[in-house]
Amino acid sequence: MSNLTRDFFIGLSNNKFLNTNAKKWGFQLGAEKFVAGTTIESVMNTVRELNQQGIYCTLDNLGEFVSDKTEASMAKDDIIRILDEIHTEKLDCHISVKLTQLGLDIDPEFCLDNIRQILDIAAKYDIFINIDMENYAYYNRTLEAVEILNKEYSNVGTVIQSYLYRVEADLDLLKDVRIRLVKGAYKESGDVAYQSKEQIDSNYIKLAKKRLLGNTFTSIATHDHNIINELKDFIEENQISGDNFEFQMLYGFRTEMQYKLAEEGYRFCTYIPFGNDWFGYFMRRLAERPQNLNLVAKDAFYTKDNKLKKGPIIAGAAIALTFFIWRKKRRK
């Protein structure tokens, strides 16, 4: 993929105007293929269905650019409501959360207080909480929070991104923390992150093998069949216990492979994002793989009886305008 295309979609994912307005538009551009509904009720149906097929879930109540305490407290309350539902319905499901959604940008102590309230309830219900990793600007603060929380709770973990140079040393420090291993979804500079797919992939495989030989649970989160196949062989050769790891993929991606891994007897977990704040998440998925647009293109623009939809045209026009402004700024 050209860097230009990737930079463009990452630029859109960070655009505050589009993110804010997208909440009012409702799902557009086929986002519903990758985001499982806007309400807690609808996403619970998805979890129930996947659990019935032997698939675990992790829920992400989407939220970006949270800039006031009321919004952060509402996000915390929603997550607690979801925990209650998971517990009452005895679902196999945990929670993924971003610290910025809980107020990291507003006041770190307030953010820690929010995540502690979530962890208290989750610990009571024996539910795991994963703290997602955001862009590098939040990396140190996220790890510091995880270090503090890991001393207080046994049900908290985080994410390590194989595109960062420093992560091998960080993984050593986190050897008793449950980790989700990913390649990394943001645009980072060559000062801190590998830029080539080969280097990112080979670091991923190296880190995954190291973790699998340890004793702490690891989620292997990737859609990359080459990596999955290599790790499956490694797991077999080294007789790694199935209790020590799981595979994870995002909702709506490579669904057949998700079912196949579960059928083969691997523990499999689907990451399910939901909520109105779909735009940034959706744009990051297009940045990773613009072909994802092909998956959604027809449904995005046409109704079932083949009429052109109005919403995506407005959304498309707003994005096109942003694109022209972005190109102009880039040329200056």
Residues that bind ligand FAD (CB under 6 A): 132-133, 159, 161, 180, 182-186, 221-225, 248-250, 253-254, 271, 288-289
Residue 18 near residue 322, CB atoms below 8 Å: yes
Query: Which CB, 161 or 318, lies closer to ligand FAD?
Result: 161
Query: Which CB, 114 or 248, lies closer to ligand FAD?
Result: 248
Cβ neighbours, 10 Å, residue 254: 15
Residue 105 near residue 66, CB atoms below 8 Å: yes
Residue 322 near residue 22, CB atoms below 8 Å: no
Cα–Cα distance, 64 to 68 (Å, whole number): 12
CA 217 to chain centroid: 18
Q: Which of 180, 211, 267, 284 is catalytic?
A: 180
Query: Which CB, 53 or 255, lies closer to ligand FAD?
Result: 255
Q: Which of 7, 92, 120, 132 is catalytic?
A: 132
As given in the structure block, the two tokens for residue 186 are 């943001």
Query: Which CB, 182 or 212, lies closer to ligand FAD?
Result: 182
Torsion of CA 143, 147, 148, 153, to 10 degrees: 120
Active site residue 180: yes
Beta strands in the chain (DSSP E): 56-61, 93-97, 129-131, 156-161, 178-182, 218-221, 245-250, 268-274
Query: Which CB, 289 or 309, lies closer to ligand FAD?
Result: 289
In the complex, the smallest distance separating the C-beta of residue 258 from ligand FAD, rounded to whole angstroms, is 10
Crossing angle (nearest 10°) for helices 225-237 and 255-263: 10
In the complex, the smallest distance separating the C-beta of residue 189 from ligand FAD, rounded to whole angstroms, is 15
Could you write out the three-class secondary structure of 37-61? CCCHHHHHHHHHHHHHCCCEEEEEE
In the complex, the smallest distance separating the C-beta of residue 173 from ligand FAD, rounded to whole angstroms, is 18
Annotated active-site positions, please?
A: 132, 180
